[in-house]
Amino acid sequence: MSKEITNKDKDYSQWYNDLVLKGGLADYSAVRGCMVIKPYGYTLWENIRDVLDGMFKETGHVNAYFPLFIPKSFLSKEADHVEGFAKECAVVTHYRLKNDPDGKGVVVDPEAKLEEELIVRPTSETIIWNTYKTWIQSWRDLPILVNQWANVVRWEMRTRLFLRTAEFLWQEGHTAHATSEEAVAEAEKMLEVYANFAEEYMALPVVRGVKSANERFAGAVETYCIEALMQDGKALQAGTSHFLGQNFAKAFDVKYLSKEGKEELVWATSWGVSTRLIGALIMAHSDDKGLVLPPKLAPFHVVIIPFISKNPDETQALREKANEIKSLLKAKGIRTQIDDDETKRPGFKFAEYELKGYPVRVVIGPRDLTNGVAEVARRDTGEKQSVSLENIDQTIDQLLEDIQKNLYQKALSFREEHITQVDTWDEFMDVLENKTGFVSAHWDGTPATEDKIKELSKATIRCIPLNNKLEEGKCILTGQPSKQRVLFARAY
Amino acid sequence: MSKEITNKDKDYSQWYNDLVLKGGLADYSAVRGCMVIKPYGYTLWENIRDVLDGMFKETGHVNAYFPLFIPKSFLSKEADHVEGFAKECAVVTHYRLKNDPDGKGVVVDPEAKLEEELIVRPTSETIIWNTYKTWIQSWRDLPILVNQWANVVRWEMRTRLFLRTAEFLWQEGHTAHATSEEAVAEAEKMLEVYANFAEEYMALPVVRGVKSANERFAGAVETYCIEALMQDGKALQAGTSHFLGQNFAKAFDVKYLSKEGKEELVWATSWGVSTRLIGALIMAHSDDKGLVLPPKLAPFHVVIIPFISKNPDETQALREKANEIKSLLKAKGIRTQIDDDETKRPGFKFAEYELKGYPVRVVIGPRDLTNGVAEVARRDTGEKQSVSLENIDQTIDQLLEDIQKNLYQKALSFREEHITQVDTWDEFMDVLENKTGFVSAHWDGTPATEDKIKELSKATIRCIPLNNKLEEGKCILTGQPSKQRVLFARAY
């Protein structure tokens, strides 16, 4: 077995990298911090994208495309935004290369220096609001409900495949509204879209909440987020939706004439999820054998492995049966692959498809053919059963539903077991160090205390849950009065 | 009427810009040469992309994603490629900004200079073949049939919306094969996919051919292309497919172990189409009233305009009927919009949807309701007919098919009328200047003559048609012997 996977409990981080690399999802590239998304990983992204895109369109959004480059000066127009995004980014300074006078390769042509440097977009609020200025004159032009699927670049110093890469793929919604209420409702609606997507499709339970001021998006008035828990007990922010107030309208002077004939600043939201979701998917469900993928997003649902017999007629019959089953499954929308490679042994194939996380494996041998059955194995529990070929399509259809539900339930149980209420600093540290997961604790509400807690514990406030119960208490660090518990965790 | 369109015959170029801007397809942006693709234009691109993506997958291809950035040294590895692509490109030299010491905005941090500059990909052969090196060991790893949907940047000096922009969206297929024959077959297959797409979906007849050496892709052994004719008699290259030989395998040292145990260099193809197709679509079919879009790609097929009556009950009845028709059409997969805006007059709406190129307009007034009919107008010919509401869905379905065919036939007739055989230089120049279109003429086969012809006439060899008839003749410029005619034209 060339593709050995590190045990999750032994080295979680190496286990993760093994799954990404050996599972065929992505590769490192020649460019620092940038990854190559391999076909198997990209199909996963296509499935994520297609479902989300459908959800965005159902909620009235349309797609558009804005330039990759942002003039440097744009970033400075919104004071918080520039602090958050104008630092680690890719800067285009020249627009031409020329042959090296020394005859070796090419060099930057010093005469082709841009008057103003261009930044490769780390996020597109500025270029988009500079455009909206020309699109918006009156209340009739509102709301604008636009989404963009794009690549963005943030020059991260420490990168991890899918979780944090210099370039990543994402979608960014940017909406413009006539009123504050409408914009807040939009930001909340899109958070709910993300939460539904995570739970229904990724089988990933999430906590819906708002960020503390420290963790807010640079330029936002309020940042809504969904937070998920990984199997190592660390939290992962899976999506954010921002109420931007009038900050970008002010920065780019975007006003509209109201029905009453008054000039008003426009209200904004933005919201995004990225290829990071693939990292979350991997870490939420997978095991020591490899990837475990929820059927609703898996590139393939089923692999059919017909045994290769020494009798060529028998082999042929098994192949034909495999194709028959595939047609049946295809008619039900079940994505199926046949592996009848004669050069590989069944055991090798079993390990390979377990590594790749195919939800269901169907094996048929000569005796199965005689008995009119096949062996069906599910990836999540490893259970095998002998299934009648008669209605195998229905059986598998049901099985895929069961797997989807089981993955969600398992992740939900894990998450529920890993939300721990604590009331003292010692308990707090003990849970973070040993039990891990979310810690529900009182905090005095100040950014300074939050910073101090982070410094001492490496935990951050993941969110203040929506509809949080109010409860009198004392801050675990300062003992100052607090009105509600918030969720802390160490996080990706 | 605020949205006046320049007459095509008066100023073709301004007419084109009017359609793009006033038709709501795209906008100029704050970044030189980069455009904003507006929702209506982007939907057109989504429709193009979805159909092509389906065709690529049916022919066995999968999608993947490679880094946006290419290390500068990679471009120099293939000698022709560097000449073609390493010149006008966006160069990233720094990875950080910092606050301006003068307190005004941000400046490039001189300490964050990259050791090796990164080029924003103008095309991805180099980064992809550097990756394939690690994917390919034996004949078992071949073929690799990968496509990428991405943005690319070429620092063009003179840009035109959709036709030539600094950043554009495209797909680039990059395949790797064990034999030359297989790679050539792949390049030819993908040319045929493009040609079918252009003809069936864009209603755009194309000439399939190969490029002369001068016009070949930088790094290719053979460039196949499809060439279309625009209404001003200029040609437009609508797609290319390249047989790259072993050039990139050599440059990046990509070898495989053959079945016979011999180490061999890998054979390559690449092929691409871009948002330029939208420019072609606009220029092929549109008229002085605005866009004319082929139904198979149009964002919407039908607009239904119920008359607004002074009698609110009547208005309500018309609205309900409009919704009923919409439901009927939707069930047939016909993309339908209702415009019941009370603040705009019918004449204004008619002009608006003609400008936007909706293939079919349905108008219902009070009298139509009584008579059980609606007025149906087709955008391509302007014809109107009174249609029974009984089976309006079938009528419109058929009408959309007719429109699609009619657009193709019209474009085909125009193209056929504009392929002119000439045998002398004077005729050649006369056709280019007055009749315009493709000119079929003898050429002595040398790059020098081709250059000279281009210099004198501004016409280039668009292609040597596939399966070209061999015919003895004399070069129109030099009088040297020639074995076949080639197609010249002035081009976009």
Give the number of beta-carbon pairs within 8 Å between A and B: 189
Per-residue pLDDT of B310-323, as tens digits, reads: 899 999 999 999 99
Place of tokens 């020329």: A98
Could you tell me what percent of chain A has a pLDDT over 90? 92
Cβ–Cβ of A96/B87 closer than 8 Å? Answer: yes
Residues 138-157 of A with CB under 8 A from B: 146, 150-151, 153, 155
Cβ–Cβ of A72/B46 closer than 8 Å? Answer: no
Q: What is the DSSP letter of B141?
A: G
Q: Give kind and range of the element (H or E) at residue B84.
A: helix B79-85
Greater model confidence, A102 or B359:
B359
Cβ–Cβ of A169/B134 closer than 8 Å? Answer: no
The single-letter code of the amino acid at A420 is: T
B164 to chain A, minimum CA–CA distance in Å?
Answer: 14
Cβ–Cβ of A127/B151 closer than 8 Å? Answer: no
d(CA B477, CA A54): 57
B18 pLDDT more than 60: yes
- Among the partner-chain residues A62, A88, A93, the one whose CB lies closest to the CB of B96 is A88
CB-based contact (8 Å) between A75 and chain B? yes
d(CA A161, CA A281): 13
Tokens linked to A134: 């020309």
Residues 357-396 of B with CB under 8 A from A: none
The confidence score (pLDDT) of residue B78 equals: 80
Task: Confirm if B92 and B117 have CB atoms less than 8 A apart.
Answer: yes
d(CA A241, CA A269): 7
The confidence score (pLDDT) of residue A489 equals: 98
Cβ–Cβ of B93/A98 closer than 8 Å? Answer: no
With cut-offs at 50, 70 and 90, classify the pLDDT of residue A76.
confident
A148 pLDDT more than 90: yes
Cα B389-B395-B398 angle, rounded to 5 deg: 165
A371 to chain B, minimum CA–CA distance in Å?
Answer: 35
Greater model confidence, B100 or B2:
B100
Cβ–Cβ of A90/B90 closer than 8 Å? Answer: no
CA B214 to chain centre: 22
d(CA A86, CA B107): 9
Task: Confirm if A340 and A319 have CB atoms less than 8 A apart.
Answer: yes
The confidence score (pLDDT) of residue A313 equals: 92
Q: What value does the mean pLDDT take over residues A437-449? A: 97
Task: Confirm if A108 and B100 have CB atoms less than 8 A apart.
Answer: no
Cβ–Cβ of B36/A66 closer than 8 Å? Answer: yes
The confidence score (pLDDT) of residue B1 equals: 44
- Alpha carbon of B153 to those of A114, B68, B87, B442: distances in Å? 15, 10, 12, 36
Contact residues on chain B for A146, CB-CB shorter than 8 A = 39
Tokens linked to B41: 């234009």
Q: What value does the mean pLDDT take over residues B264-268? A: 98
Q: What value does the mean pLDDT take over residues A35-49? A: 98
* Beta pairing, strands B144-153 & B62-63: parallel
B56 pLDDT more than 80: yes
Tell me the domains of chain B and their CATH numbers: 12-68+125-285 (3.30.930.10), 302-398 (3.40.50.800), 419-489 (3.30.110.30)
Contact residues on chain A for B278, CB-CB shorter than 8 A = none
A85 pLDDT more than 80: no
With cut-offs at 50, 70 and 90, classify the pLDDT of residue B12.
very high
Q: What value does the mean pLDDT take over residues B192-220? A: 96
Q: What value does the mean pLDDT take over residues A299-326? A: 94
Contact residues on chain A for B63, CB-CB shorter than 8 A = 39, 42-43, 46
DSSP readout, A351-404?
Answer: HHHHHHT-SEEEEE-HHHHHHTEEEEEETTT--EEEEESTTHHHHHHHHHHHHH
- Among the partner-chain residues B34, B42, B117, the one whose CB lies closest to the CB of A64 is B42
- The SS3 call for residue A280 is helix
Contact residues on chain B for A71, CB-CB shorter than 8 A = 30-31
Tokens linked to A471: 């409860």
The confidence score (pLDDT) of residue B82 equals: 78
The confidence score (pLDDT) of residue B80 equals: 78
Task: Pick the residue from chain A with its C-alpha nearest to B118.
Answer: A31
Q: What value does the mean pLDDT take over residues A453-463? A: 97
Place of tokens 């250059």: B451
Cα dihedral sign for A17, A18, A23, A27?
positive
B42 to chain A, minimum CA–CA distance in Å?
Answer: 5
d(CA A57, CA B191): 33
CB-based contact (8 Å) between B93 and chain A? yes
Q: Please name the residue ranges forming H helices in B107-266.
A: 125-135, 180-200, 247-252
* Beta pairing, strands A336-338 & A360-364: unpaired
Query: Which of B161, B432, B159, B403 has the alpha carbon at shortest distance from B285?
Result: B403
d(CA A229, CA A412): 9
The full 3-state SS of B369-431, as one line of letters, equals HHHCEEEEEECCCCCEEEEECCCHHHHHHHHHHHHHHHHHHHHHHHHHHCEEECCCHHHHHHH
Task: Confirm if B488 and B230 have CB atoms less than 8 A apart.
Answer: no
Task: Confirm if B150 and B124 have CB atoms less than 8 A apart.
Answer: yes
- Among the partner-chain residues A31, A68, A88, the one whose CB lies closest to the CB of B71 is A31
CB-based contact (8 Å) between A221 and chain B? no
Q: What value does the mean pLDDT take over residues B354-373? A: 96
Per-residue pLDDT of A327-365, as tens digits, reads: 999 999 999 999 999 999 999 999 999 999 999 999 999
With cut-offs at 50, 70 and 90, classify the pLDDT of residue B143.
very high
Query: Which of B227, B272, B253 has the alpha carbon at shortest distance from B418?
Result: B227
Q: Is A238 exposed, middle or buried (0-12, 13-18, 19+ CB in 10 A)?
A: buried
The angle, 0 to 180 degrees and rounded to 10, between the axes of the packed helices A276-285 and A392-417 is: 90
Cα B58-B59-B61 angle, rounded to 5 deg: 95
With cut-offs at 50, 70 and 90, classify the pLDDT of residue A2.
low
The single-letter code of the amino acid at B225 is: C
Cβ–Cβ of A64/B89 closer than 8 Å? Answer: no
Cβ–Cβ of B93/A91 closer than 8 Å? Answer: yes
d(CA A144, CA A165): 30
Query: Does residue A465 have a cis bond before it (omega within 30 degrees)?
Result: no
- Among the partner-chain residues A75, A82, A167, the one whose CB lies closest to the CB of B67 is A167
A100 pLDDT more than 50: yes
Task: Pick the residue from chain B with its C-alpha nearest to A152.
Answer: B68
Task: Confirm if A254 and A133 have CB atoms less than 8 A apart.
Answer: yes
Q: What value does the mean pLDDT take over residues A190-204? A: 98
Give backbone dihedrals phi and psi of B382, rounded to 5 degrees, phi first.
Answer: 85, -5
Task: Pick the residue from chain A with its C-alpha nearest to B27.
Answer: A131
The confidence score (pLDDT) of residue B2 equals: 53
Tokens linked to A74: 């744009």
Averaged pLDDT score across all residues of chain B: 96
CA A141 to chain centre: 32
CB-based contact (8 Å) between B96 and chain A? yes
CB-based contact (8 Å) between B309 and chain A? no
Cβ–Cβ of B63/A86 closer than 8 Å? Answer: no
Per-residue pLDDT of B405-458, as tens digits, reads: 999 999 999 999 999 999 999 999 999 999 999 999 999 999 999 999 999 999
A1 pLDDT more than 50: no
Cβ–Cβ of B31/A130 closer than 8 Å? Answer: no
d(CA B194, CA B313): 52
d(CA B37, CA B45): 9
Averaged pLDDT score across all residues of chain A: 96
CB-based contact (8 Å) between B34 and chain A? yes
A24 to chain B, minimum CA–CA distance in Å?
Answer: 11
Task: Pick the residue from chain B with its C-alpha nearest to A24.
Answer: B135
A161 to chain B, minimum CA–CA distance in Å?
Answer: 13
d(CA B327, CA B308): 20
CA A359 to chain centre: 20
* Beta pairing, strands B302-306 & B263-265: unpaired
The confidence score (pLDDT) of residue B109 equals: 93
Place of tokens 């009556």: B309
* Cβ atoms < 10 Å from Cβ of A123: 22
Cβ–Cβ of A42/B27 closer than 8 Å? Answer: no
Place of tokens 């793929």: A169
ipTM of the complex: 0.96
d(CA A288, CA A15): 8
d(CA A275, CA A273): 7
Query: Which of A346, A339, A358, A347 has the alpha carbon at shortest distance from A396?
Result: A358
Q: What value does the mean pLDDT take over residues B98-122? A: 91
Task: Confirm if B363 and B378 have CB atoms less than 8 A apart.
Answer: no
Could you tell me what percent of chain B has a pLDDT over 90? 92
- The SS3 call for residue A54 is helix
